[in-house]
Amino acid sequence: MNTVIQCSYRPARKAKTISSAAVSRQSYHHGDLRQALLAAGVELARDGGPDAVVLREATRRVGVSPNAAYRHFADRDALLVAVSNAALAELATTIDATVALIPDSDSVTVATEQLRAVGTGYVAFALDNPGLFHAAFFVHSDLQQPPHSMSGPSGRSPLELLTDALDRLVSSGAMPASRRPQAEFLAWSAVHGLALLLVDGPLRSLPRDQADAATQRVLDMVEAGFTCP
């Protein structure tokens, strides 16, 4: 007698679907979430300045719950401080890149060109990234001893790059040592003031070539004030 084996069809179990938010939550570990939140905060600042940096929106962009963020940032102000540092680092990176374009020459020429490169990179960054420019200086009341997170590839913050340029101007003999004390504040005030006028002040409608020309004229004034007899 033949044995009949009956096989019943059992449909395969449907695989569980996992939301992208859940994947995101599972993928962050060992500080990755902090960096992801910071990157989201930087992009918020790039688009809308410091006022746009909101912790809840950063968590939404990353794909985690708001509560998850508090393990890395105590509140919105803590995130904004980190974003400000990152913006200063981007500014320092732009200045470093501008300084790197200076050709080899005699010490006086290199020193004066380094000072001008710092100012040129500073204003260019403000024009290209107005949101980050405002965020960079929104939090800090004292940039004299900046953390490393404010630095560019050279390991120097924007203010340190300016002080280095001024020190080199003195060591080259182009600038009398008697003019060095607090010279960074004079140069910074001139360049930062122009940047604000160009970004959202009465000079904001200037075409870029005219804005660049105005930058060089201001730097002419700064250089002359430090080096002329």
Instruction: Please give the pLDDT value at position 28.
Output: 55
Rounded to 5 degrees, what are φ and ψ at 75?
-165, -175
Instruction: Please give the pLDDT value at position 68.
Output: 87
Distance, in Å, from the CA atom of 178 to the CA atom of 122, rounded to the nearest integer, reads 26
Q: Are 61 and 40 in contact (CB under 8 A)?
A: yes
Instruction: Please give the pLDDT value at position 15.
Output: 41
Distance, in Å, from the CA atom of 106 to the CA atom of 197, rounded to the nearest integer, reads 34
pLDDT in tens, 100-151: 999 999 999 999 999 999 999 999 999 999 999 999 988 655 555 556 678 9
Instruction: Please give the pLDDT value at position 2.
Output: 43
* Alpha helices in the chain, H assignment, sequence order: 20-27, 32-48, 55-62, 66-69, 76-99, 107-128, 130-136, 158-171, 183-200, 208-227
Distance, in Å, from the CA atom of 42 to the CA atom of 33, rounded to the nearest integer, reads 14
Name the stretches of the chain with pLDDT < 70: 1-31, 139-148
Instruction: Please give the pLDDT value at position 1.
Output: 42
- CA separation, residue 67 to residues 20, 28, 57, 58, 75 (Å): 18, 14, 12, 12, 11
Instruction: Please give the pLDDT value at position 9.
Output: 40
Distance, in Å, from the CA atom of 81 to the CA atom of 195, rounded to the nearest integer, reads 22
Report DSSP state, residue 17: P
Instruction: Please give the pLDDT value at position 150.
Output: 87
- pTM here? 0.83
